[in-house]
Structure formats: structure tokens, C-alpha cells
Amino acid sequence: MQTRSRIGLIGGAMVLVALLAWAFAPRPLDVEVAQAVQGPFESAVSEDGKTRLRERYTVSAPLAGRLARIRLDEGDRVEAGAVLATLTPVLSPLLDERSQRELKARIDAAQANLARSAARLERARLGVAQARNDQQRSEQLAQQGFVAATRLETERLAVQAAQREVEAAEQERHVARHDLEQARAALAATQGTPGGRPFELKSPVAGQVLRVLQVSETTVALGMPLLELGDLGQLEVVAELLTADALATPPGSAVRIERWGGPITLQGVVRRVEPAAFTKVSALGVEEQRVRVLIDITSPPEQWKTLGDGYRVGVRIVTLALPQAVTVPVSAVFPLPGGGSAAGEGAGEPANPGVGSERQAVFVVDGGRARLKPVQVGARNGIQAWVREGLAAGAQVIVYPGAAVVDGARVKPRKV
């Protein structure tokens, strides 16, 4: 009987020890994991922008006179050559000679402006020819496998931007010719009888009335602004970038235009980065050096016909586009403790300046345990990080690793 009691006590003690060992044994850490995938990767600079007209025209009084009431309202469409306002010359005998000299000087200035616009048009046409030559050269190299598809897209956008320059130059020459005709007509009107035949002020371009600066009938002086006109089909986007970001967005960079109120994302291209920066104080009171970047909208005009002048939009200027890259969630990457590297792995050069200058790491799930894996990050965006070196596609990485996750710790994966 005593033997049976002893055996029972020993067995109970062993069961109790086993239960205590199980209760106090370390449990696998419950972690979220994601898979490293291979696919397209894109990094971009995001900023708010504002639309504006590439060419805004202020119609002024070409002579002093009595202005009839302007019947146009903001938003009205006008055709080139349409009558905007009517002036009846009212000249003082003591100012006749001076007015005529001023108008003759205006004719000379209009002739010089016309010659300048013609030279700009010729320069823009040469730019189109150069852009097309670059595109053809890139297409030939692409057929031989020496140029990436993204380079071809950049060359195509550059051709479109150059063509827009030609259109703007043609418009400028048309306006210069119109100004010359207006100056000559104004001089002819002043040489007639004061209070005689009315002078019709015509529209230099086809577009919309943006502002009516003088509505009521009144006497106006020479050069007084009367209306503002513009073609809303010639909109551009202006974004103020930090100078460090602007260096990564040269002319020709692809742009995604978002948060503009429409159902789709519009496409654009950087036309120009202004050479002069300026100081701007942020909402936190920090002084920042920023520079204006001018963006052309390359999407068909019917897709953004509801946009107007001065509208707020969001822009994403693409700085890096890779067709195939190993990517992981950006929350899975963290600086390697101590900035060192694992034994047997070289540091290598970073893909982009300022990115990957220090060694990074991820935790990889291997056989139910977390393994510290040093990697080299080429670039990152708000969602993904491009792992340039140190990780293969298909690996399971831990997302948001906590302080308890260390090299060799037991983990229980849970996919995000």
C-alpha cells in the first residue's frame, strides 16, 4: 500500500512539474508578417500645387477716351477678334501731340515684341526637332536593349512639352501682331476728330473672360486695364518644392496629379525648374528654401475641363521608377543596431544619395524563429521599401517588430 502511495505521489509531482514547466515556458511571439515581392517600384516627391494659366492677357485701353459699358461677364467665352469694348476718343488739344508721340512709341514697341515672339517661335521649333531626334535615338537604342522603357517615356513626354512650347510661342506671336494692329488703329483714331467714330477694342485670343476690371461707362486714361482674358485649355501646375527635392525632379520627370476633385489621376510632366529659390516660413515657423516647379498637364483636355485658374491640386513627381524590384512594407525595415553589418556581408554603395547610407535590417521568419537579416535599401516611398541587396523575393518578413522580437526568438506568424 505504501508503494502504491509513493508511486502516486511521484506521478502527481511529475505531472505538477510538467504543468508548471508548460505554464512558465516561453510562448512564441504573435507577429504580423508580409511577403517580400518582386514587381514595379516607384518613389516620388509629393507636394501641394496650384493651377495657373500659362498665358494671361490684360486688355488695356489703347487710347484715352469714353468707355461704353462692358456687357461681358466673368466666364464668358470670346473668340479671337471679338469686340470686347468700345472707346470714343476724347482728346485735349494741349495733349494731342504728346498722345500721338506716345502711340507712335507704342507701335515701335509692338513691332519689336512681334520680332521677339517670332524668334521665340523659331527657337521652340528647333527644340521640338531636337526632342524628336532624342526620342528616335532612344527608340533605336531600346530595340538593342540599351535603354529602359522609362527613358522612352521620358523622351516622349519631352517631345510633348516641346510641342507645348511651340503652341505657346505661336500664341504669343499672334498676340504681338494683335497689339501692333491695335496700336496702329489707336494712332489712326487720335488723328481723327475728337468724339468722332468709336474705336472697337478686340480680343487678342480665343478664351474666357477671367475678370472685368471696369464695368460701368466712364472716361479712361491711356493704358488703363479693362479686362483679363485667358485660355483655360492652357493650364499648368505650379508646385513649390524644397530645394533638396527639386534637385531630384529635372525637366521631363513624370508627374501624377491627384486630389484635384476629379475621378481619375491626371498625368503631367515637369517643364521647368526655376533657377532662383526663395525663403518660405512653414506652419511650424521653420524657414525653408523652396523653388517653383512648373508642370504641364499631358492628359487629354476633356479629362480636366472642369479645372480652373488657381485651383489646388496634389502632385507626385516621380523620382525613380523600376519595372522589377524586390519590395517589402516600409514598416518592416529598421536601422541595424550599431550601424554595423553581419559577418561576411559587404556594405556596398547606396542606390540613391541619402538612402541606404547606413545599414538597414529586417526580421525574416525561418523555421518558426525570427532571424535578423541585414539588407541594403535603395529607396522607399510611403508604402514600400526597395531592398536592393540582402533579401530574396518570397521571404516572410516581420512587420512592425516589437522590442521583444530578437534574433532567434520563437514567433507565430500572422499575415497582415
Report if residue 306 sits inside a domain.
yes
pLDDT of 242 strictly over 80: yes
In a shared domain, residues 180 and 328: no
Report if residue 207 sits inside a domain.
yes
Report if residue 4 sits inside a domain.
no
Residue at a domain's end among 321, 343, 365: 321
Report if residue 188 sits inside a domain.
yes
- In this prediction, residue 104 carries a pLDDT of 77
**In the structure, what pLDDT confidence band is assigned to residue 352 with cuts at 50, 70 and 90?**
very low
In a shared domain, residues 295 and 379: no
- In this prediction, residue 109 carries a pLDDT of 82
When divided into structural domains, the chain yields a total of: 4
Nearest to 242 by CA among 297, 317, 172, 164: 317
Mean pLDDT, the chain, rounded, equals: 81
Which residues neighbour 17 within 8 Å (Cβ) at sequence distance 6 or greater?
Answer: none
Between CA 260 and CA 269, with CA 265 as vertex, the angle to 5 degrees is: 95
In a shared domain, residues 336 and 408: yes
Q: What CATH number has the domain bearing residue 310?
A: 2.40.30.170
In a shared domain, residues 215 and 81: yes
Report if residue 100 sits inside a domain.
yes
Residue at a domain's end among 321, 351, 367: 321
Contact 273, 45 (CB under 8 A): no
Flag the least confident range among 51-65, 304-318, 327-341: 327-341
In a shared domain, residues 244 and 267: yes
- In this prediction, residue 326 carries a pLDDT of 92
In a shared domain, residues 258 and 335: no
In a shared domain, residues 218 and 80: yes
* Cα(306)–Cα(261) distance, integer angstroms: 9
Flag the least confident range among 183-197, 228-242, 296-310, 335-349: 335-349
Report if residue 22 sits inside a domain.
no
In a shared domain, residues 399 and 368: yes
Mean pLDDT throughout 285-312?
Answer: 91
What are the pLDDT digits (tens) for 183-224? 777 676 665 544 456 788 888 888 889 999 988 888 888 889
In a shared domain, residues 74 and 216: yes
* Cα(257)–Cα(293) distance, integer angstroms: 14
Q: What CATH number has the domain bearing residue 347?
A: 2.40.420.20
Q: What CATH number has the domain bearing residue 63?
A: 2.40.50.100
What are the pLDDT digits (tens) for 353-394? 344 456 889 999 988 889 999 999 988 888 999 999 889 998
- In this prediction, residue 246 carries a pLDDT of 92
Between 186 and 291, residue with greater pLDDT: 291
**In the structure, what pLDDT confidence band is assigned to residue 348 with cuts at 50, 70 and 90?**
very low
What 3-state class would DSSP assign to 362? strand
**Cell numbers 521599401: residue:** 385
In a shared domain, residues 267 and 132: no
- In this prediction, residue 51 carries a pLDDT of 94
* Cα(99)–Cα(120) distance, integer angstroms: 31
Contact 198, 87 (CB under 8 A): yes
What are the pLDDT digits (tens) for 144-177? 776 676 777 777 777 777 777 877 777 777 777 7
In a shared domain, residues 98 and 224: no
* Cα(344)–Cα(187) distance, integer angstroms: 86
Q: By CB neighbour count within 10 A (0-12 exposed, 13-18 middle, 19+ buried), where does 163 fall?
A: middle
Residue at a domain's end among 297, 321, 345: 321
Report if residue 21 sits inside a domain.
no
**What is the extent of the structural domain holding 225?**
58-86+203-230
Report if residue 14 sits inside a domain.
no
- In this prediction, residue 402 carries a pLDDT of 84
In a shared domain, residues 101 and 180: yes
